[in-house]
Structure 1
């Protein structure tokens, strides 16, 4: 095909010259003028993004958070609002603002794999930001806004591909997973080239105050001093820290946190209760025998092994059996094997599960309303599904082994067909279930922030009912100690970060 240079411009020029026609169009000129005028940013203070997003109606606390990060924190911040207050909206506003101002050209968003589609939809639909899912076949130099799962991005060859890019802004969702500086996740983020960085997490402290130190060190190395200085100056220990207004001030320089009560929004109530339970005689006998194992066999003498077994028998015999049988294979002495076999036999003969009975009772009392049960063990999940089915209650499982499409399918089945969703810990992140307002914490975690994440699946923007939380705990077992430690950790969180909404209410009498 022959390509020729167009001569239209010359013909038009000659016609205007010979016939003395107008050289411009006043209407077009005024339109161009208005376009350029609209693009001007007259003042650095205040947000421009809302002017370009007429269909987005952010809440005042979201606008304030975005403005604070840009004007006071120089784009390096932890967005730590309580679960369900719209941290994604805040991050979207900040990204949009920087794009409008020309301060960000390239951005990388790192999220759990299960949240990729949710983030893409939010940025496209609400912020009109074209975002591309990472693909190793693409030339990243030509991809401006990229989203990827953290698990994939930290591995080769993706890691090297991303390292070669100069990103202006990095956004990391569920950033509490970076709490340990010895992990590959932490090392990967630490080595990223970034001008601005947003860490999103409702739970910047999960177990101890040093997790927050590690997150802040990613944003601003040295802001809290080195590890030894931080520990000595603020008298920090693993599960305690002295009240220190200076520490809070330093943290508030890099962290924005709104509680539900700060937003001015009228929230439904949380009705939280601990439900203390008593083992049946047979269950108590098996629990005591398991506790005795540490004196019988060195295989069970490790604190972790014993605590795991004690927690599992408090959940279900099915969960305990798997661990017990695995450890039995390591026994060498006849008396160890004999005692372990006796426990396994008594496990198989158990015909009651106190917790399951209570969970069923609670479900019946809801009169057909939706209920979420959280357990820490897939064996208990399977047992509960069968147990409830035998009693006429339809449930669906939800765990980390499911693909993204299967997770969505389980969520849809729960919404439209089943009364109960039985979830392992993976169900406490990344899904929004405002159509449900009953949560049974069948197993208690060591980490209070996991409880907050669980409850936040239902107690969030859009919830129209009071939320009922039932924390089940077996008295005179390891779960007494778990409750004590949960209260201690909640105290550390509130000293350093701020008030936490009810997740336990009161300690169980021991």
Structure 2
């Protein structure tokens, strides 16, 4: 006979917050359980299922799913299903099959364990209480999902992530200029959507050359473990949909366009969120959209959330810009002509914003603003600005509110976010240093016979016999030795095209100088690259130079270095900017020194001239670079390979002229309205403050240290701000992230340390290890019963006190974020023998250190002798806790209404003036409001722990 029968009610020992479960199916190997309260389904192995049968006995009070209660008189068994017979509150007799039990029942075990002698250590009880308090504080946080990333707290990035991630199934275009952190913004949005349960399945589509960069960035910054899909990976699942075998996937656009069958699998895999990088390469026109555009379009139509990333929204023309907006909302953006007309209508709004920033407003300005903002609340704010009795603080507040209302009216500004270097401060100057060198004879033949690659990286085309010895005759190597001698006390990052060149340079440098400069390339594992980066970052012991290949450096930032050596030049300006972007980032403390050693009268010099004179790409990012490369790239390659100086000169002149025209058009077309909407400084500054206040590295590590001691995790201090964690021999649980091998890992709780030492994991309250540890404490029985001795002269010897911890439990889907309104709310009671609650007079932190342990045998004897007294006091504590519940529920409903109702009214009003607000967003918020109210109403008290205290 199978151990589980459909219809039986069980509860998850590992995830008690799921509520009461119902067995759906069972076979010899697995059992499927539905948890209706949280909308979750779990499949467990029959042999190891962490489930406990819910069976009530005579005298127990149980709740029907319709809300009425009954007291159990007897229990019958009907082919494995329980039927409870008993009386309702009005005395009428009734019966209830177990399938009709309330889904919100939680099985309370603390009292049962205590009374049956299952007694835990005092430090476990203390840890449980402090962990509940920690979870309580985190649940209240308005910045959930924003504080856990390994990143500097940059206001515009936090603003965008917070604004977008709080929406239901967001569909937006992230279009910050290069170097301002679009990938970080996207990662933050994904992190928050995953953490809050708004998304579970995510597909990221990127150009093939950027796959590793995204993989590293998602893991290193956000602890998101994506699977990298290529054709070989997909071929491992014959007869199956390969894209259904992983929740988080990165693949190249080329994979989907080259293999229609894989594209179809991706379309049918039901994603929650789609992310597309380099979206400006998606070509479209009304008659014939490109293959890549159509590929993404079909995915976007079937996926609720969509993030498009591009550096320059209009760099390929307004129609291309419209095409990307059309992917976001095809109903809203269905006519290019109408889009152009609508965009022109926003000019008065931009002018009104400019006027609001002025010290004084004319009567004509006020009149224009009244026409633009006819709503009564806006009219009242305008009245404030004209009233002489209004003080400066009132006027400043009124101006800000009016600016926000005007920005809300900008349709595109709700779906497109663009910050520029004109509006974001913190960037250093870029200085170019060119170093002319004579071409060695060994390179002449490869250059003359080869293509562009042979001109830019001649060493990579040498015959095998010279592959490992070219540093002996290449003057760039001797120049590098001189550079290290001159700048050895300053960090230098060297980037070359291939892994082979990087390794050869590293070996030659070691032989010539004894300096062990790591070769940082795609052949290394992520852990090996972490170690190399960490060694390079060590100011005292690390090497003066790190040698990177093109792909190996992707996803890494080295802003602590000030020198960048471009040992060769890439063939694409986007790659050049990526290289410079390794150092040119917010947080760089020095002007960036860019060194380019090159061979005179070769294609290297020609490419250098085109980048420098044609694009001015070394001095600053060139927004028009991609468009210019698309226009002149083939001609430039022809000029380089053929060696025709006149063609090169013509290409340079035409590039310069065209760049001037494009840059002028871009500057004239700068949408200052968009730039204002992309970061509202007051909100952004508040987010930074909130995260800084929440970051408490010392307190977090103190909790971690206590928890790891209990769980048997070894921690070794490696510096004043870092520790190395390894699994102990007697770990309580082996499912802690990162401890699946004896090697373990190193970590820090200090954000600033994690930013410069990439070998350290950044532990925040949102790190998977911290969350797993927290959940295993709360969702287990660990520390929920204890007995201790209190040596005091204030009470007679043998006096019994009962300390009871309770929490408010609300089974609800994660995406409702119920903790904002009704956090677990740790309740503590300290009852004397008469049932008086002394908790207000005797705090936990004051009492806990004064308690000492009892031998387990003695503790069990105490419980046995005082069992009835303990039972009575425990019931009294539960009664007191339940007395708090109606007030807690009422307060939570009011808080929920005060937060969600105005937001619901705001988005409905916004939809009237801004067509970019989708119907589904309004409907989702309405459903969230109703679901939150229902979940709060069904909140229940859970007894989390009971400690018996005996005086001596």
TM-score by length of 2: 0.35
Give the C-alpha shift of residue 287 in structure 1.
5.6
TM alignment of 1:53-452, pairs within 5 A: 58-66=153-161, 75-83=171-179, 85-92=180-187, 94-95=189-190, 107-110=202-205, 112-113=211-212, 115-116=214-215, 118-120=217-219, 122-123=221-222, 146-151=247-252, 154=256, 160-172=264-276, 174-175=277-278, 189-192=296-299, 193-200=302-309, 202=311, 217=323, 220=326, 256-264=417-425, 266-267=426-427, 269-279=428-438, 283=440, 293=448, 300=449, 305-313=450-458, 318-322=459-463, 352-389=473-510, 390-416=512-538, 417-452=542-577
- CA positional deviation for 1:213: 7.5
Deviations 1:247-305 (A, max 9, x none): xx9998975343445224x34x234213131306xx2x5566666x5xxxxxx4xxxx3
Q: Secondary structure at the match of 2:552?
A: helix
- Structure 1 residues 349 and 52: CA distance shift in structure 2, 3 A: closer
CA shift digits 1:215-252 (9 cap, x unpaired): 874553697999xxxxxxxxxxxxxxxxxxxxxx9998
CA shift in 2, pair 1:87/1:309, >3 Å? closer
Shift of 1:312: 3.0
Residue 87 of structure 1 and its aligned partner are, at CA, apart by 2.6
Deviation at 1:420, TM superposition (A): 1.9
CA contact (8 A) 1:49 1:97 kept: no
- Seen in structure 2, the aligned counterparts of structure 1 residues 348 and 59 have a Cα distance that, compared at 3 Å, is closer
Mark the CA change 1:371 to 1:186 in structure 2 (over 3 Å): closer, same or farther. farther
Quote how far apart the aligned CAs of 1:320 are: 3.7
Closer, same or farther in 2 for the Cα pair 1:372/1:99, shift >3 Å? closer
Contact preservation (8 Å) 2:499, 2:522 = no
Q: Contact 1:49 / 1:96 at 8 angstroms: preserved in 2?
A: no
Deviation digits for residues 140-161 of structure 1 (CA, Å, limit 9, x no counterpart): 9999x93222149847987554
Distance in 1 between residues matched to 2:181 and 2:607, nearest whole Å: 31
Q: Following the alignment from structure 1 to structure 2, what is the Cα–Cα distance between the partners of residues 82 and 371? A: 22
| 2: CA distance, partners of 1:114 / 1:491 | 21
Relative to structure 1, the CA distance from residue 413 to residue 75 in structure 2 (aligned partners, 3 Å threshold; closer, same or farther) is same
Verify the 8 A CA contact 2:490 2:561 in the aligned structure 1: yes
Shifted more, 384-393 versus 486-495: the winner is 486-495
Structure with a larger share of its residues in strand: 2
**For the residues of structure 1 that align with 2:435 and 2:513, how far apart are their CA atoms?**
23
CA distance in 2, matches of 1:89, 1:426: 19
Shift of 1:477: 1.6
Q: CA deviation at 1:469?
A: 1.8
Kindly state the Cα deviation for residue 452 of structure 1 after the two structures are TM-superposed: 1.8
Shift of 1:395: 1.1
Counterpart residue number, 1:331: none
- Post-superposition CA distance 1:337-391 (Å, at most 9, x none): xxxxxxx9xx999953222222222222223332211112444323322332212
* CA distance in structure 2 between the aligned counterparts of 1:191 and 1:96, rounded to whole angstroms: 25
Provide the C-alpha distance between the structure 2 equivalents of 1:277 and 1:224, rounded to a whole number of angstroms.
54
Whether the 8 Å contact between 2:471 and 2:477 is mirrored in structure 1 is: no
Shift of residue 482 of structure 1?
0.8
Q: Specify whether residues 170 and 371 from structure 1 end up closer, same or farther in structure 2 by C-alpha distance, changes over 3 A only.
A: same
SS in 2 for 1:108: strand
What's the CA shift string for 1:75-106, capped at 9, x where partnerless?
Answer: 231333432x3334422554577789998675
**Retained in 1: the 8 A contact 2:456–2:603?**
yes
SS of residue matched to 1:194: coil
User: CA distance change for structure 1 residues 258 and 473 in 2, over 3 Å: closer, same or farther?
Assistant: farther
8 Å contact kept, 1:79–1:198: no
* Range 350-359 or range 156-165, more displaced: 156-165
**Is 1:372–1:420's contact at 8 Å kept on the other side of the alignment?**
yes
Preserved CA contact (<8 Å) 2:146 2:158: no
Rate the CA distance shift 1:150–1:106 in 2: closer, same or farther, 3 A.
closer
SS at match of 1:356: helix
- In structure 1, what is the equivalent of residue 876 of structure 2? none
Asked if structure 2 preserves the Cα contact closer than 8 Å seen for 1:217 and 1:224, the reply is no
Aligned pair 1:460/2:585, yes or no? yes
Take 2:71 and 2:556, find their aligned partners in 1: how far apart are those partners? Answer: 63
Q: Is the 8 A contact 2:176 2:419 kept in 1?
A: yes
Displacement of 1:456:
1.7
Q: Hey, what's the Cα distance between the residues in 1 that align with 2:304 and 2:225?
A: 19
TM-score, with length taken from structure 1: 0.60
Bigger radius of gyration: 2
Report what 2:143 is aligned to: 50
Return the offset for 1:481.
1.9
CA distance in 2, matches of 1:159, 1:178: 18
Compare 474-483 and 176-185 and name the one that shifted more.
Answer: 176-185
Q: Name the CA shift for 1:290/1:432 in 2 (closer, same or farther; >3 Å).
A: closer
* SS of equivalent residue, structure 1 residue 440: strand
User: Which residue of structure 1 lines up, in the alignment, with residue 356 of structure 2?
Assistant: none
Quick one: distance in 2 between partners of 1:255 and 1:107? 21
Give the drift of 1:123: 4.3
Alignment check: 8 A CA contact 1:75 1:197 kept:
yes
Q: CA shift at 1:426, angstroms? A: 0.8
Distance 1:134 1:383 in 2: 29
- Kept in 1: contact 2:521–2:551 (CA 8 A): yes
Alignment partner for residue 604 of structure 2, among 456, 479, 486? Answer: 479
Equivalent pair of 1:106/1:168 in contact (CA under 8 Å)? yes
